[in-house]
Chain A
Amino acid sequence: MDDLLQEFIAETRETLGALSGEIVAWEADPADRARLDAIFRFVHTVKGSCGFLDLPRLARLSHAAEDVLQAVRSGERTPDPRLVSAVLAIIDRIGEIVEAIDAGAALDDSGEDLLLAVLDEKASSAPLKLVPTSNAGAAAPRQATRSIRLSVDLLDRMMNGVSEMVLARNELARRLRDSGDPTLENAIDRLSLTVSELRDTVTRTRMQAIESLFTALPRLVRDTAGALGKTVSLAIDGADVELDREMIELLRDPLVHIVRNAIDHGIEAPDERRRAGKPEAGRLTIAARQSGNRIIVEIADDGRGIDTARLVSKRIEQEPRRAGEFSALSERARLDLVFEPGLTTRDTVTATSGRGVGMDVVRTNVEQIGGTIRLHNVPGRGLTTTIEVPLTLAILSAVIIGAGEGRYAVPRQAVEEIVASKSAAVRIDMVGDAILATVRGRRLPVVRLGEVLGTADELGDMLMIVNLPGGSFALGVDSVDDTQELVVKPVAPAVMAAGLYAGQMLPDTGVPLLLLDCAGVAAAAGVSFDRVVEAEPEAAEPVAEGTPGLLFEALDGRRRIVPLSAVERIEAVQAESIREAGGRWWATARDGLVALIVAGGAPPRGGELAALMLPGADTATGYLARRAIDIVSFHDDLLPSNNPAVSGILVIEGEPIEVLDPAHLRPGRSDEKPAPICLLQGPDTAWMEAMLSPLIEAAGYRIARTLAPGEEAAVTLAAGDDVPAGGQVVRFDRDPETGWPLVDSYALASALTIGAAR
């Protein structure tokens, strides 16, 4: 926000400077329309920025001035000297406030109401006495400006000059080495250092983090959503991606437009979302990343997506003659109708969008800066808009690789890891005609760079694991030489046509390098990643989400499930290391001694076992199992179980599987009292347990149907004719018609309270 404020101050100061001449001219000739327009634009801009930057005083002043000027423009008021003076006084005041903000000084606002009153036509027609500007403004000395505005063109020329200098230095250094005069070496080293630093500085002057574009978004989203009665949560990623300053400015409007569209057209109203089984708050994700010499900005919403059928019918309505043509369009071409001028799917104009000035302008703007815009539409589930713009003067950290005789650059950002292809961690297999690399258990398709380039057939000595938006692959290259920070420039169309290159670079050696486009290389090798895969996990119905559970093979050979949340991690335990001490079982695991919960007798004597480590215990404690099998998802509608340690029965592939109750996995501690027992008597206990167990368990009881020897019931729920076993007794009657038990919940609650207190 500070950046924006600084920019606002600089801009306002600059415009004020330029405007002072206009103001004087307007004062001399209030009928001058061009001057009036210039002043109006200034006030209007200030007003817009103020609302955005939350500067209410400036907003109030500029708004009032704007109103008056608008009235003059429309001829409702005449620019008499009094009005002109009043407007000028306000513009002066805006200047003072801006200076005060910059200096961080407080400025007394006493005069402002008067200033505003003067603007008002209906105010007393007493001769105007201009409010003397308070001397607070003078008290705050204007800070020396520490920034200037430069044209990007100038920076370009500087950059070229520095690049030439680097090459000249290299040439000089090479000749010097040949001549073998050591006295000059120090001098050339110093020159080298200076030139490098200079190059870095010049390069950075053009770059700006995309953050400055993103900082305005939370507010924009909030306001837009608020105006439409929607709730939207915004997630921003990649704000530190740097790109050309100029590019940031050019991206601003398209981005704002797309975000507004996403909220207005994409994300549904809360009740509609609820009906569709989505969370009430819409989700908007904005992510920026660098891919080669392109910057990709993705705006994804989880709204209703684009109804292409509706688009088509709308277009047919507008141009009935082309009906046949429109109906025959492919799905992709239908989606592209969004970009046609004048199209709006809105039937009514809203404050936000729907004016028909839309995506066509966005596309034109993006294409003007050499970018592309793509839509990924999943009807009912959302729309992802991807803007890709070039980074013509991007500094790229590049990995320099060798393939055959040539050397190439790969964006370092895309490279996850580099391994030697003969390393023990790597396994290479032929699978059909494809090569598959297994790197530490991860399977990756292999692309031989030599083969793609047509220079060699060998796999190469090194494998680079390259990440693409849809997945990863291993790129086989001959050597990995170096990493360098280099300026990327676009390649000529004739070279671009290869589809393998993203740009060209000139390192200090003076030998050009081609920057590989990893996606292009993968595509040329026939490796493709389906983007749909990425979106798929979200396609699961929200209601269908169950509790994740760990399926394991228990010591008795049966499969059981324990909720995943109850297991912290799984430790491998050698059966030979299990010992008994102090009435408990212990095992030696990787991190030391582990206490074991052994269900069903003694642990087996041999083999490797798994300890499901429980969180939160003082001593590291694990539930002993033969092995962990899988992670499954289950729902709360389990079949009931008679065993209190089992929260229910889940049926997987026809086999009943016990779901363990995590509460019963806790190691019992001697100083801890066991939970009091609530005994359920009678033949209808299954029904009662299902209905009442939340209440009873919440009160700290364990539900039992029979008492083990030595156990005592704190509370007994008994049918009218049963003999109560003891403790607090709650009797229930039966409904005379259905025969179902009727429980007085009040009596139960009080019995539970008394029973717990005993």
Chain B
Amino acid sequence: MNETLHLLAHVGGRAIAVPADAVESVVDISSIVKAPRAHPAVRGLAALRSRVVTVIDTWELLGLPAPEEGSCRAIITVVDGHHHAVLVDTLEDVAPLDVVAVPTGLSLGRRWAGITTGSAEREGEPLLVIDIARLVGSIVAAG
């Protein structure tokens, strides 16, 4: 068994796991300043102590319906020296996971395929392991 620590979360009702070393912290984002004309998946900017973070609308980025009650839970990650807050429905736990390959024949969809590095299982629920840097990077790649 080769287990590594992962942060467990839900986005659009789907369970995801993010390797803990890619996560700087988890926070509640309170107020967001809009950045008009930026990419639609950019909610805006928020202050996190003395840092300004770019808030990522994960649902928009993954083509999922946004939750009815706006969530403010976010995973803070640093990509290319910039702090990003990746919004999620809920944050559950940090747990060691045994990551295996995604079951063959399963079509995750274009958006998910590019950011998934593997899968795991926890309490019977299947999880996709997400490369959060790629998730953030896909904004710019998508143009």
The interface of chain A, by Cβ under 8 A from chain B, is 160, 163-164, 166-167, 405-407, 452-455, 489-495, 497-501, 504-506, 510-514, 524
B47 and A506 contacting across the interface, CB-CB below 8 Å: yes
A498 and B35 contacting across the interface, CB-CB below 8 Å: yes
A510 and B47 contacting across the interface, CB-CB below 8 Å: yes
Known contacts A406-B33, A494-B38, A504-B45; A160/B140 CB under 8 A: no
Partner among A160, A490, A492, A511 whose Cβ is within 8 Å of the Cβ of B84:
A492
Partner among B31, B35, B56 whose Cβ is within 8 Å of the Cβ of A501:
B35
A260 and B34 alpha carbons, distance in the complex (Å) = 47
B36 and A494 contacting across the interface, CB-CB below 8 Å: no
Most chain B CB neighbours (cut-off 10 Å) among A160, A164, A406, A514:
A514
Q: Is the CB of B10 closer than 8 A to any CB of chain A?
A: no
A493 and B47 contacting across the interface, CB-CB below 8 Å: no
13 examples of A-B residue contacts, CB within 8 angstroms: A163-B50, A454-B36, A490-B82, A491-B54, A492-B42, A492-B82, A494-B39, A494-B140, A495-B35, A495-B54, A499-B37, A504-B45, A506-B51
Q: Which 5 pairs between the two chains have the least Cβ-Cβ distance?
A: A163-B50, A453-B36, A492-B54, A492-B82, A498-B37
A167 and B49 contacting across the interface, CB-CB below 8 Å: yes
A375 and B37 alpha carbons, distance in the complex (Å) = 30
Partner among B31, B37, B84 whose Cβ is within 8 Å of the Cβ of A454:
B37
B33 and A494 contacting across the interface, CB-CB below 8 Å: no
Q: Is the CB of B69 closer than 8 A to any CB of chain A?
A: no
The interface of chain B, by Cβ under 8 A from chain A, is 31, 33-39, 41-42, 45-47, 49-52, 54, 56, 79-80, 82, 84, 136, 139-140, 143
Interface of B is mostly: mixed
CB proximity of A181 to chain B, nearest CB, Å: 25
Most chain A CB neighbours (cut-off 10 Å) among B47, B50, B143:
B50
A512 and B38 alpha carbons, distance in the complex (Å) = 15
A512 and B37 contacting across the interface, CB-CB below 8 Å: no
A506 and B50 contacting across the interface, CB-CB below 8 Å: yes
A514 and B35 contacting across the interface, CB-CB below 8 Å: yes
> Looking across the interface, which residue of chain A has its beta carbon closest to that of B136?
A494
Chain A contacts of B47 at CB under 8 A? 167, 506, 510-512
B36 and A495 contacting across the interface, CB-CB below 8 Å: no
B52 and A493 contacting across the interface, CB-CB below 8 Å: no
Partner among A493, A497, A500, A511 whose Cβ is within 8 Å of the Cβ of B31:
A511
Chain B contacts of A492 at CB under 8 A? 42, 54, 79-80, 82, 84
Chain A contacts of B80 at CB under 8 A? 492-493
CB proximity of A289 to chain B, nearest CB, Å: 26
Chain B contacts of A489 at CB under 8 A? 52
A493 and B140 alpha carbons, distance in the complex (Å) = 7
Chain A contacts of B36 at CB under 8 A? 406, 453-455, 498, 500
Chain A contacts of B41 at CB under 8 A? 494
A453 and B82 contacting across the interface, CB-CB below 8 Å: no
CB proximity of A44 to chain B, nearest CB, Å: 37
A498 and B82 alpha carbons, distance in the complex (Å) = 16
A167 and B38 alpha carbons, distance in the complex (Å) = 27
Chain A contacts of B50 at CB under 8 A? 160, 163-164, 166-167, 506
Chain A contacts of B49 at CB under 8 A? 164, 167
B37 and A494 contacting across the interface, CB-CB below 8 Å: no
Chain A contacts of B46 at CB under 8 A? 512
Besides the contacts A492-B84, A497-B140, what 9 more A-B pairs have beta carbons closer than 8 Å? Answer: A163-B50, A405-B34, A454-B37, A492-B82, A494-B39, A494-B42, A498-B38, A504-B45, A504-B52
A510 and B34 alpha carbons, distance in the complex (Å) = 15
CB proximity of A510 to chain B, nearest CB, Å: 5
A495 and B38 contacting across the interface, CB-CB below 8 Å: yes
Chain A contacts of B33 at CB under 8 A? 406-407, 511-514
Chain B contacts of A167 at CB under 8 A? 47, 49-50
Chain A contacts of B79 at CB under 8 A? 492
A455 and B36 alpha carbons, distance in the complex (Å) = 8
CB proximity of B22 to chain A, nearest CB, Å: 16
A164 and B51 alpha carbons, distance in the complex (Å) = 9
A166 and B54 alpha carbons, distance in the complex (Å) = 21
> Looking across the interface, which residue of chain B has its beta carbon closest to that of A501?
B35
Chain B contacts of A494 at CB under 8 A? 38-39, 41-42, 54, 56, 136, 139-140
A190 and B35 alpha carbons, distance in the complex (Å) = 36
A497 and B35 alpha carbons, distance in the complex (Å) = 11
Most chain A CB neighbours (cut-off 10 Å) among B41, B82, B139:
B82
CB proximity of B78 to chain A, nearest CB, Å: 10
A397 and B38 alpha carbons, distance in the complex (Å) = 24
Known contacts A493-B80, A495-B42, A512-B47; A453/B37 CB under 8 A: yes
A453 and B84 alpha carbons, distance in the complex (Å) = 22
CB proximity of B59 to chain A, nearest CB, Å: 15
> Looking across the interface, which residue of chain B has its beta carbon closest to that of A162?
B50
A581 and B41 alpha carbons, distance in the complex (Å) = 82
Known contacts A514-B35, A514-B45, A524-B37; A506/B140 CB under 8 A: no
A429 and B119 alpha carbons, distance in the complex (Å) = 62
> Looking across the interface, which residue of chain A has its beta carbon closest to that of B36?
A453
Chain B contacts of A500 at CB under 8 A? 36-37
Chain B contacts of A407 at CB under 8 A? 33
Chain B contacts of A497 at CB under 8 A? 38-39, 140, 143
CB proximity of B53 to chain A, nearest CB, Å: 8
Known contacts A453-B37, A454-B37, A490-B82; A512/B140 CB under 8 A: no
CB proximity of A338 to chain B, nearest CB, Å: 29
A454 and B79 alpha carbons, distance in the complex (Å) = 28
Chain B contacts of A490 at CB under 8 A? 82
A454 and B51 alpha carbons, distance in the complex (Å) = 27
